Chain A
Amino acid sequence: MANIVEIRDLRVGAVTDSGRKVEIIRGVSFDIAEGEIVALIGESGSGKTTVSLTLMGHARPGCRIESGVVSVAGRNVAKMTERERARLRGTEVAYVPQSAAAAFNPSSRLIDQVVEVSDIHRLMPAAEARAKAVELFRALALPDPERIGERYPHQVSGGQLQRLAAAMALIGDPKLLIFDEPTTALDVTTQIEVLRAFKAVMRERRMAGVYVSHDLAVVAQIADRIVVLKGGEVQEIGDTETILHRPSHPYTRELIAALEPVPYAGARIDAPTDARPPLLEVDRVSAGYGPLAPNGLPEHTVLRDISCRLERGENLGVIGESGSGKSTLARTIAGLLPAAVGAVRLDGTVLPGTVEQRSKDQLRRVQIVFQLADTALNPARSVGDILGRPVRFYHGLKGAALDARIAQLLDMVRLPVAMRHRLPAELSGGQKQRVNFARALAADPEVVLCDEITSALDTVVAASVIELLKELQRELSLSYVFISHDLSTVRAICDKVMVMRNGDAVETLASAELDRATHPYSRLLFASVPRLETGWLESVDYDPAVLQRA
């Protein structure tokens, strides 16, 4: 089989803000045969997107293809003029971006944007292009293919928009399609549909593809071969089965190990046989935004009649897709959004609705940790200041005692004490998240609300953060409310899991019994989580009708 893509010793350089030159891609070489889908996998900063963009002869601002050959269909893209590259893009190579929502112009109709490529390259008459677009919509399993193109981007769902972006890429019959993390921003139940549509279209047209992702389980479903990248270098290339089952490179093994489910044994500290009330109890809480309607509920109700309880030393997982109200639940417990109906009890005492009404001690006992450490840490303050403030605020420590406590906190989250003088921008993603968590520990809390705290981290880093949380729980007798959209992280740390959907608590299960879920939605949600095996996508029992019914 002839190779459609041949990359040889590709080097891409970039200039940092301080003017230093660095090489971000260091001698990458691989091939793609016709009709083959090759996945580029690696953590953030591994250069996977940069490599995929060079296939279109593009380098992001500040970056430059320094040397090497990127040959697409026999021609070296790296040596082309900008004009030749423009001709190439859309007809030979096309690109499906990560965020389709950002790729579409919100103020023009979808069909006009989809056929734009054929318009620019004068490939076919407009009527023919439209007919072809409709055919693509059908092939991508979009509902109502005849008319969906007449809508505007905000009138379709995220998963549909992502498929429309693929249609836009496919209209020029490219020989090579680049997918740049196309399902990362989607919910798992939507991801499955989109993946199936992509796979069907690619197989049918026998097109070559590059699939960029950090998610090995997703890649396993769609790729024939996998290229593992790290630090701008290829670590390992192999077909999917080999990479998954017989990885030879230690880094690949580490990646796969991070995805292995770690069964959670429970971290119960004291037996809950005593008659003490649960540590945290959410009792039939409804909350939302806007003025209260006559029935006592807010105009936009985000949480409806939610009840759950957290025993001492236990962890409660809250799982749901975007918009399910899981983060709102955390905000209500933390006192940032008062409950309209119902009560939140801490150790049997009702917590007042807002932060202002709560006592300092009540505030201290419940701490919240947010998802994005980038926005959760004040970029203008040093790590020491960030950690020191809650210590001073709740415990009034000063001087040497404060310093000692900050050092102790850094040590708890396995960071060197010297880091207290750094600014957040000088830390890596995992380090930032550790500081973010240490700030909650600084208060000496009993309950920590973790809102998607591992979602923005790379797989390996996320796994180490979860390990850290478990250790700290044993040492400090904490209880976590662990909010996530990712079933595997919740399963790794929680005793009980509450499934939420559109503001309702669908079902609460012990984490060992997730396979015995009774509610159709929770079954669908659990089934939609990609498994690390080829052929899972075809075998999974997936019935999207459940989503429409509820």
Chain B
Amino acid sequence: MVHVAPAPRSRSRFGYRLNAVGIGTMLVILFWAIIAVFGPLITPYPPGEIVDFNYFMPMSSQFWLGTDYLGRDILSRIIVGARYTVGISLVAVCIACFVGVTLGMLAAVTGGWFDSVLSRLMDALISIPSKLFGLVVVAGIGSSIPVLILTLAVIYAPGAFRFARALAVNVNTMDFVTVARARGERNAYLMRQEILPNILGPVLADFGLRFVFIVLLLSGLSFLGLGVQPPNADWGSLVRENIGGLSFGAPAVLMPSIAIATLTISVNLLIDNLPVKIRDRSE
């Protein structure tokens, strides 16, 4: 085929161009991020205070999303709950992916017995059902935010390890890694400069998916009463607290569920619609 000069790149200001779905979902995620950061400043009512003598009230101009089973303002509780759900999940996914990807690349670069031992260890961790593991640890040690974060990270690190290792093994066999090795470069350089840039796209996508899994697991644990403890509440706990309102169709139980759904679906859709340039980095 005729050699075609690379087309003048149509770059937006950020260098990448998102499609409509990507932009939409990005806005939803940004929205939740802002809520999580500035939550306590924008709540219409103090989240822990009983502001209405009725419970499970419908939406009204006074209480935009109604009130919960004690008569607290649900909007305020969702806004503050975003901190817990997004914050805990984000920290946990960062730890999980950092540890997993670093070890995965190290295993791929080192190879040999180190790789085998680490891989089998991670396989063993993966074989434990995640909910069960979470339940046992939280029930055993007691629930606090650091314990939750670490438990979630431990559950999801092996998956990140496996994913990163599989990608890194492929890059590791490329000649440019061999050249760097023949130059006398250390493992840290090989991992950071030669391998990581080439697996970054898929690793970021995996980061997003793993974030979704963690949000869902955290919400699940909270729903079972083992997550964030009262009087604080993340979205999962809000669902649990107000489950009694389900038969009345109370917004108190629906709205936190919708919050969980919008966040997780947006992250998923954003990953599916990432610009080709990011996804292609690995090819």
Mark A residues whose CB is within 8 Å of B.
14, 16-18, 20, 22-24, 45, 47, 50, 231-232, 334-336, 355-356, 358, 360, 363, 367-368, 370-372, 375-381, 389-390, 393-394, 426, 428, 439, 443
Contact = CB atoms under 8 A, between A and B. Distances in A.
A393 B4 contact: no
Nearest to B194: A378
Contacts of A375: 174-176
A18 B7 contact: yes
Contact of B183 (A45, A376, A393): A393
B41 interface: no
B184 A20 contact: no
B7 A20 contact: yes
Contacts of A336: 178, 181-182
Nearest to A362: B184
Contacts of A390: 183
Contact of B2 (A17, A45, A394): A45
Contacts of B200: 380
B185 interface: yes
B111 interface: no
A50 B1 contact: yes
27 contacts: A14-B1, A16-B7, A18-B10, A45-B3, A47-B1, A335-B182, A336-B178, A336-B181, A355-B181, A356-B184, A358-B184, A363-B184, A368-B179, A375-B174, A375-B176, A376-B174, A377-B176, A378-B193, A378-B194, A378-B197, A379-B198, A380-B198, A380-B200, A381-B193, A389-B180, A393-B185, A439-B179
Contact of B179 (A23, A376, A379): A376
Contacts of B131: none
B277 to A, nearest CB: 10
Nearest to A49: B1
Interface string B1-20: 11110110010000000000
Contacts of B7: 16, 18, 20
A376 B176 contact: yes
Given A16-B7, A20-B7, A380-B197, A47 B2 contact: yes
A22 B3 CA distance: 10
B198 A378 contact: yes
Interface string B221-261: 00000000000000000000000000000000000000000
Nearest to A428: B3
Interface of B: 1-4, 6-7, 10, 174-176, 178-185, 193-194, 197-198, 200, 276, 281
Contacts of B193: 378, 381, 389
* Residue of A50, A356, A368, A379 with most partner-chain B CB within 10 A: A379
B178 A231 contact: no
B175 A370 contact: yes
Given A14-B1, A22-B2, A375-B174, 18 more contacts: A18-B10, A20-B4, A20-B7, A45-B1, A47-B2, A231-B2, A232-B1, A232-B2, A336-B181, A360-B184, A363-B184, A371-B175, A372-B175, A376-B175, A380-B197, A380-B198, A380-B281, A381-B193
- Counting from the closest, the 3 A-B pairs by CB-CB distance are A380-B197, A376-B175, A370-B175
Nearest to A18: B7
A363 B2 contact: no
B212 to A, nearest CB: 26
B6 A426 contact: yes
B4 A355 contact: no
A181 B198 CA distance: 32
Nearest to A443: B183
A17 B4 CA distance: 11
A24 B198 contact: no
Contacts of A232: 1-2
Contacts of A16: 4, 7
A378 B274 CA distance: 22
A378 B198 CA distance: 8
* Residue of B175, B179, B194, B197 with most partner-chain A CB within 10 A: B179
Contacts of A24: 1-2
B101 to A, nearest CB: 15
Contacts of B181: 336, 355
A231 B4 CA distance: 10
Nearest to A370: B175
* Residue of A355, A380, A394, A443 with most partner-chain B CB within 10 A: A380
